Amino acid sequence: MRIDLHTHTLVSDGTDTPTQLVRKAAQEGLDVIGLTDHDTF
């Protein structure tokens, strides 16, 4: 099982939407991801 529990979307300092991130993770063979965007308010 491949897991990445520290990812970011464009909501904070990442480059992908949440949907894009999920798709890319699946393409890379990840089974589980955790979205850990920063609080930018």
Tell me the backbone φ, ψ of residue 23, rounded to 5 degrees.
-65, -45
> Hey, what amino acid is at 19?
T
Total domains in the chain come to 1
Any domain includes 16: yes
pLDDT value of position 39: 84
Any domain includes 27: yes
With 70 as the cut, is the pLDDT of residue 40 above it?
Answer: no
Tokens of 7: 């990812």
Instruction: Determine the structural domain holding residue 12 and report its residue range.
Output: 3-35
DSSP symbols for the chain: --EEEEE--TTTT-SS-HHHHHHHHHHTT-SEEEE------
pLDDT value of position 20: 98
pLDDT value of position 41: 64
Contact 40, 9 (CB under 8 A): no
Tokens of 35: 């979205």
Q: What is the pLDDT of residues 7-37, one digit of tens each?
A: 999 989 999 999 999 999 999 999 999 999 9
